[in-house]
Structures are given as C-alpha cells and as structure tokens.
A and B are shown apart, each in its own frame.
Chain A
Amino acid sequence: MTDFITPSTQLKSRKSAEQRFRWYGRGAIFVSLAFLVVMVGSILYKGSGAFTTTDVAIVVDLGPDAVDPANPQDARFEKIVKDALKARFPEATKRADRRKLYGLVSNDAGFELERFVLANPDAIGTQARVWFRASDDFDILLKGTVDRDVDESERRLSDQEIGWIDRLVADGDVKRGFNWSFFTNGDSREPELAGILSALVGSALTLLVCFCFSFPVGILAAIYLEEFAPKNRFSDIIEVNINNLAAVPSIVFGLLGLSMLLNTFGMPRSSPLVGGLVLSLMTLPTIIIAARASLRAVPPSIREAALGMGASPVQATFHHVAPLALPGILTGTIVGMAQALGETAPLLMIGMVAFIVDVPQSILEPATALPVQIFLWADAPERAFLEKTSAAIIVLLLSLITMNLLAIVLRRRFEKRF
C-alpha cells in the first residue's frame, strides 16, 4: 500500500506556521482582555465603597426648649445635634476634643435633623433617635480603607475618635446602607455628601446640545457630499479637510470655543450650551465620515431603481438610500457621542470645571460633566474622594456601555437586507 497523500516537509512547516499564528492571536486577545479585567476590576474594587454609606444614630432632645412646636423650622438644629453629641460622649470637654466630636457626623447634620423634624412632627417634644450621615473619615475607617494600626501621629483619626466610633458600633448605633444620595446629590466639599447627579445632568445636557447640533449638520453634510456634490478638486479638498478635522486634538477645539463662543459671541461660560457646541466640533467629522461610509455602502442599484422610476434625487436619497444607511449612521453617531461623553480637555478650557452643587436646570446654567467631575475628585485631598472617583468612573463606564448597547439595538432594529 502506497501513501496517497504524503505529508511533505513543506506542508509540515506550513501547518506549524498556521498553528503558531493562531496562538499569537489567542495571546493577543488574552493580553488585551487581561488589561481590561485589571482595569475594570481595580475600579470596581476601589469604587464599590462609594455605593454604601455609614450612618450613626444619636438621641437628640427635641423638647420644648429646643424646638418650638409652633415654629419648628426656627429651631437651631445644628446646636441640637451638637448638644446631643456632647450628651452621648460627655468625656469630651476640651474645645479641641469637642470640635473632633462634632466632626463625627457630616456638616449636613443640622439640615438632616431639620428634614427629620419637619417630616415627623410627632417627634417634637420627645427624645428622638435620629440617624445622621457619618463623616467621611469614620466612613472609610469602618470600610477598612484606612489602617487603624499605623501610628496615631500618621492617622487622621486619633485613638479617641476611633474609640467613639467603636462604642457606637458596639451599641448598635451604626448602620450601613446603599448610598442613594450619591445619585441624588450634586458635588460637595464633604465626600460623604458628594453626589454625581449634577455632573450626570451636566453631561446629559451637554450631549443633548452636541447631538442636536452635530447630528443634523453631520448628516446633511454627509448626504450632500456623498449624493449630490459634483466630484471635483474642490470636493476632494473638503474631504481631506474633514478627515483632518477628525484628527485635531480636542483641546484645540476647547481653545476655539473659548475665543469664539465665549469671548466673541459672549455665550454663558461653563454652560452645557458652549460645552455641547465645542464637543460638536469633535463629533461632526466622526458623524460625517461614518455617515458617508454607510451611504457609500448602499448598493447603487437602489439609487438607479428609484431614479429610473422617476424619483427626484432628493426623493431617491430620502426614501431609499438614507433609510438603508441609517443603522450605520446611527452607530457612527453614537460612537461620536460616546467619545464626546468621555472628553475632558475642551470642557476645561471653557470653564466647565467649576464646583457645581446644584443640578443645572437648563443649558445656560453653569454645569460640569462626568469626566470633569472625575478629574476634580481625583484631585481632591480627602481620602474618601478616592472611592468617589472610582465610583464616578463606574458611572461613566456604565453610561458608555449603555450608549453602545443602544447602538447595537438600533442597528439590529433598522438593519435591512438589500
């Protein structure tokens, strides 16, 4: 019996080359996945703490001396809280110790009590046990973020303060809860009160402006260039310049926004309007390029069919070509929007880096954006802002994932066979 198919040495080396390539490919995928896992993992690990809070229960005296039942809102709530803390830990008598004691709860404690009293009028006149947000140092201590075994001189919390919180824990006066206020508050100097809402709304308003400007302009430009413009040297120059525009560093657009929109046109500084317009300059080329590519991918036979029926070029474009290109156009737009969402530098240039506590109500009010908020928190000295930074990154990543999912859903939805 003779070998019908004899494996030659050349065949063997070809086969091993084939195998080797596959392993290189798998290796490349593994390396990039590993990076992703490490990055996401570390962010999740660091940020997860920000989604829980520490609250401490203090018994406050809401007797007639402290709160007037007729005018509860006039009570000096901050003093009531301080008195309650003094009563809880009477050993703190020195001024410095007292100040530390008051720092057990957040600066907002007075307002928290006011809200409690106004919501529970029955409590007036009684000794009420009220939950207060613990301040950030105690919060991260209990989360184990800071090590209590280092020397006292190198800790922010003294042994005395740690003793207080341990007693509260032992008495069952400390609880952990989901940090809803992270999603309902604006920024704050106090990490335990700082929330993402103002930045989230700022980003949403900025993206809205960006979308409303760049989507129609981008699509009209793409359709005109692709379907109507004569192909000559002039249209070549335009094409090259649009591609160049896509490569311009974003900070340059920020400078342009600063000098044109703010200084020349006098638009409101730090506003989502200006931020959105500046980001539009970045997203426009992305949208135009993606839209042109998907228009070009529509088979010419569809255009011929429509024109051969006596459709005008505009009808052929809007009835037949553009709908077929829509999935690609939407994907490109969302990719552009996602880039805009993550963009920081140009927003810094136009002043969207301000400290914004209130949620912006319109596109003309000062606002900040998610990536800028991350930048601000990352720069903050308080240790507790570390986890806020990671938490804000998680929110930003989730927003990006949502946008990409939206892109996939839209593409599935509108995709048609030719």
Chain B
Amino acid sequence: MSKTAIISAKDVNVFYGEKQALDKINLDIPENKVTSLIGPSGCGKSTFLRSINRMNDLVDICRVEGSITIKGQDIYAPEVDVVALRAKVGMVFQKPNPFPKSIYENVAYGPKIHGLAKSKTDMDEIVEWSLIKAGLWKEVKDRLDQPGTGLSGGQQQRLCIARTIAVKPQVVLMDEPCSALDPIATAIIEELIDELRSNFTIVIVTHSMQQAARVSQRTAFFHLGELVESGSTKTIFTSPEDERTQNYIMGRIG
C-alpha cells in the first residue's frame, strides 16, 4: 500500500446473487488525484465504484467480500454508518439527476441534512462556494430559485457536482458523468474535474479512453470482473504490460 493511498481495496469480491461480478480486486487509490476506471461494458467498473460508498447495499442480492478501507478505516465494518460514509464519499451519476427543486435547494440539501450550516448566511456561503467550485455560479446566480431540472444537461451535471461537493466529502465518485452530455459540456466537466482534484480525491468511471487520458493521473483497467492492470495513466496508455490492456487500448476489445 502506498503511503498516499486514501482508498485501499483488498481481495474484494462482489456477487449479485450467485453471479460473481468482481473477482479479487486489489487497488490503491491515491489522495487528491484522479483515478479512472476503464474497461469494456459489463466488466464491473460501476460495481466497484458503488462498493466504495456502499451504494451496492441498495441492491438486495448484492454481497461484498474482502475489505475496502478509507483512511485506514474498514467501511464494511459493522459499526460504520452508511449515512456518514456517503457524506464523506459523494457520488455523481451517469444521468444528471438533480432533485425537482430549486437550484438553491438542490445544493443546500446535503448541508442541511448533515447539519453543516448554522445559519442562513452559512448556507448561502456553502451554496455559493459549491456552485463556484462546480463552475456554475456565473450562469445561475440570478436564478437560484428556479428549478434545477430546467437547466441544460451539462449544467444539470455540474449542479449535481455542486450538490455533491457542498457536503465537503473527501472522495467524489463519478460514474460515466459525461456519457449523457455533448462534447462541449463534456469538455467543461473534464476541466472541472481537473480543478476539483486539489480538494478532493476523484474516482471516475469512463468508457472513453481519451477522457481517461485527459483527466486522470492513475488508471485501472478492468476486464470481466478482474482488475487486469493499474498504474499511472501514462504507463497504462503508453506501455501496458498485459495483452488485454493493449488490445483494449488499441480498440480491439470493448
């Protein structure tokens, strides 16, 4: 385990009922870096991502073995409160899913339920900070009371990012955050991810290798439920060790 690793997965197996979706995953994720998870569809990237904030708990038939630690603490230990865990490990989903409430309420919701704001001014500050960080402040500052669902797709996704970082998590998980967006909105979000790295550890699932190359420092390649190879993004893309990685990168499987 490297010294700077914030998340550390050891021998993680995930099952959906009888079916094994992840097989003995060992992966360290460094702090304040962007780690991308790549691999062909159905290889278990989302499953791995969702086991980091225990969203898998929502699936009745899902079972996780092995250990995942964040800052040395086992997140599957019985005493861990998933609500507290998810406040520390935020998540941005594939399809932008703002609440059908105002922009302000969307961002304020997390801080409110976690009691992070002591006053209205506190809350205003958190909302402004989050929207600035998500690069959305300029566009929405005059219409905070309008529904978040009225924004464009890219803006909605940035709103979801603002909503996630408003809780000041340590880790932000993103599951193909740009797959529903057009190239311009994608470029804006990629830029944003690069900026967010200084405050948060980011794990991003992407099916676009260009995106992985652009935004991430570390890359992990999954194939059929196995972690084939992980390392610095540069190494993975220029001199992959495993043949399967090579094939995937060359566009031969996927």
Q: Please list the residues of chain A having a beta carbon within 8 angstroms of any beta carbon in chain B.
A: 230-231, 299, 301-312, 315, 319-320, 324, 416-418
A302 to B99, Cβ gap below 8 A? yes
Residue B40 CB within 8 A of the other chain: no
The smallest beta-carbon distance between B155 and chain A, in angstroms, is: 15
Point out the residues of chain B lying under 8 angstroms from A315, CB to CB. 113
Cβ < 8 Å to A, chain B residues 57-115: 58, 60, 83-87, 90-91, 93, 95, 97-100, 109-110, 113-114
Residue B147 CB within 8 A of the other chain: yes
Contact among A301, A307, A324, A417 with B55 in the assembled complex (CB-CB below 8 Å): A307
A308 to B90, Cβ gap below 8 A? yes
Please, which residue of chain A has its CB at the minimum distance from the CB of B106?
A: A305
User: Given A306-B99, A320-B99, is A311 in contact with B149 using a C-beta cutoff of 8 Å?
Assistant: no
Please, which residue of chain B has its CB at the minimum distance from the CB of A311?
A: B113
Contact among A230, A231, A304, A416 with B93 in the assembled complex (CB-CB below 8 Å): A304
User: Given A320-B99, A417-B100, is A310 in contact with B149 using a C-beta cutoff of 8 Å?
Assistant: no
The smallest beta-carbon distance between B78 and chain A, in angstroms, is: 17
Residue B189 CB within 8 A of the other chain: no
Point out the residues of chain B lying under 8 angstroms from A311, CB to CB. 83, 109, 113
Measured in the bound complex, the distance between the Cα atoms of B149 and A177 in whole Å is 57
Interface size class of B (residues with CB under 8 A): 20 to 34
A416 to B86, Cβ gap below 8 A? no
Please, which residue of chain B has its CB at the minimum distance from the CB of A416?
A: B100
A307 to B99, Cβ gap below 8 A? no
10 smallest A-B Cβ distances: which pairs?
A: A310-B86, A310-B87, A301-B97, A308-B91, A416-B100, A305-B97, A309-B110, A310-B83, A312-B83, A417-B149
Interface residue SS majority, chain A: helix
A307 to B60, Cβ gap below 8 A? no
Residue contacts A-B, CB under 8 angstroms, 28 given: A301-B93, A302-B99, A304-B58, A304-B93, A305-B93, A305-B97, A305-B98, A305-B163, A306-B99, A308-B53, A308-B55, A308-B90, A309-B87, A309-B90, A309-B109, A309-B113, A310-B83, A310-B86, A310-B110, A311-B83, A311-B113, A312-B83, A319-B109, A319-B113, A416-B147, A417-B100, A418-B100, A418-B149
A309 to B97, Cβ gap below 8 A? no
Residue B167 CB within 8 A of the other chain: yes
Point out the residues of chain B lying under 8 angstroms from A416, CB to CB. 100, 147
Measured in the bound complex, the distance between the Cα atoms of B55 and A309 in whole Å is 11
A231 to B110, Cβ gap below 8 A? no
The smallest beta-carbon distance between B175 and chain A, in angstroms, is: 10
A324 to B100, Cβ gap below 8 A? yes
Measured in the bound complex, the distance between the Cα atoms of B147 and A184 in whole Å is 48
Measured in the bound complex, the distance between the Cα atoms of B167 and A303 in whole Å is 18
The smallest beta-carbon distance between A222 and chain B, in angstroms, is: 19
Measured in the bound complex, the distance between the Cα atoms of B85 and A311 in whole Å is 11
The smallest beta-carbon distance between B108 and chain A, in angstroms, is: 11
Given contacts A305-B160, A307-B55, 13 further A-B contacts (CB under 8 A): A302-B97, A302-B99, A302-B100, A304-B93, A304-B97, A308-B93, A309-B87, A309-B109, A310-B84, A310-B85, A311-B83, A320-B99, A417-B149
Measured in the bound complex, the distance between the Cα atoms of B98 and A196 in whole Å is 51
Point out the residues of chain B lying under 8 angstroms from A231, CB to CB. 60
The smallest beta-carbon distance between A199 and chain B, in angstroms, is: 43
Which of B55, B84, B99, B110: most chain A CB closer than 10 A? B99
The smallest beta-carbon distance between B157 and chain A, in angstroms, is: 12
Which of B109, B114, B149: most chain A CB closer than 10 A? B109
Measured in the bound complex, the distance between the Cα atoms of B100 and A324 in whole Å is 8
Residue B164 CB within 8 A of the other chain: yes
Please, which residue of chain B has its CB at the minimum distance from the CB of A232?
A: B60
B163 to A309, Cβ gap below 8 A? yes
The smallest beta-carbon distance between B215 and chain A, in angstroms, is: 21
Measured in the bound complex, the distance between the Cα atoms of B160 and A308 in whole Å is 11
